[in-house]
Structure formats: structure tokens, C-alpha cells
Amino acid sequence: MKSLINSEVLPFKATAYHNGKFVDVSDADLRGKWSVVFFYPADFTFVCPTELGDLADNYAEFKKLGVEIYSVSTDTHFTHKAWHDTSDTIKNIEYVMVGDPTGAISRNFGVMIEEAGLADRGTFVIDPQGKIQIIEINAGGIGRDASELLRKVKAAQYVASHPGEVCPAKWKEGEATLAPSLDLVGKI
């Protein structure tokens, strides 16, 4: 399997549920700003609402960083609306909920579980040029953490705006970075 890191997002078109409306979304919406594409298996399930609720609780922090979130499952936009209307957790979502009933978007990102017709738990951070900078894929029973995703987004944004610097393990905003050089070899 070829790595998707630094590859451009493949073209797609879909219908999403967002702020009480059905809206069209495409790969073009991921350009010009930082984006998180957050795949999950299915609406009305167990781990998924905890993850989406965690993202909703941290959405304002992502927005401060200029990041838009697109949650994606193989459910339809109609199902997203029904879930949003009936779940106390999901009704707090203000980000875009993309329907992928054909699995085309999930296949584009390499997270489609063909035999189940569902997406793996895949997280993709996309830079303003439409290139994938971070990929995280978890097994179905392992939920993700929005605060760790925020840390990774901040690191990706820092590296993008500071050529020649890299962020070490556990780096947090404001901490020291590294400038790779021959002098550092064997010193860390």
C-alpha cells in the first residue's frame, strides 16, 4: 500500500449535513485552509458518538487555528440529520457531517472496510494546498482524542510555517523545536 503522506486529496463530491442544512462538499472545499477529515464507521453506534462529541467539544479550538473539520461515514446525509436531531451528544456538532453512502471518499483515503461497507477510524490532516500531512488509523474499538489531534495540527502548522525546523516527540505550542543539522547527529 502506497503512503498517502504528502499526496493530494483525490477528487470527490458529496452531500453533507451542516448547521441544519444539506450542503454540497468536494475536495475543493479542503483547499485554502487546514482541514481534518475524520472517518468513523457508523452513526447511531457506540465509540463513534464519543469521538464526534469530543471533536464538538474542541471545535472552537480547531476554528481558532483556522481548521475546518469534516466527519465522514458511509451513512447518508439524511442519517446524519436524524442522528443530529435525536442524540444529545451529536446535536452539539457544528462541523460538517459528510455522507459517503457509495464509499467513494472512504476508498480515496484508503479506509474502506469492503466486506462491512464501513470506514475505518481514520484521521487525515490536510494542509491548505490539499496535501495530506498526518494520517492516523485506529482499529474499530479504539477511540481517538481530540486534544492529541489539536497538538498534532499545531505541530503540522508550525513545521509548515517554519522551514528548517521540526517538532520533537510530545512537542507542545511554545516549546523548543529542533533544527536538523550534522551537529545534532548522535547528540539527542
List, by residue number, the catalytic residues.
Answer: 48
Q: Which cell is 174 given?
A: 511554545
- DSSP category for residue 175: S
The alpha carbon of 129 is separated from its chain's Cα centroid by a whole number of angstroms, namely 15
Dihedral angle sign, alpha carbons of residues 160, 142, 114, 49? negative
3 state DSSP class of 98: strand
What is the Cα–Cα distance from 97 to 18, expressed in whole angstroms? 6
- Helices 146-161 and 47-64: crossing angle in degrees, nearest 10, is 40
Phi then psi for residue 5, to 5 deg, are -60, 130
Q: How big is the CA angle at 94 (ends 26 and 132), to the nearest 5 degrees?
A: 40
Secondary structure of residue 161 in the 3-state scheme? helix
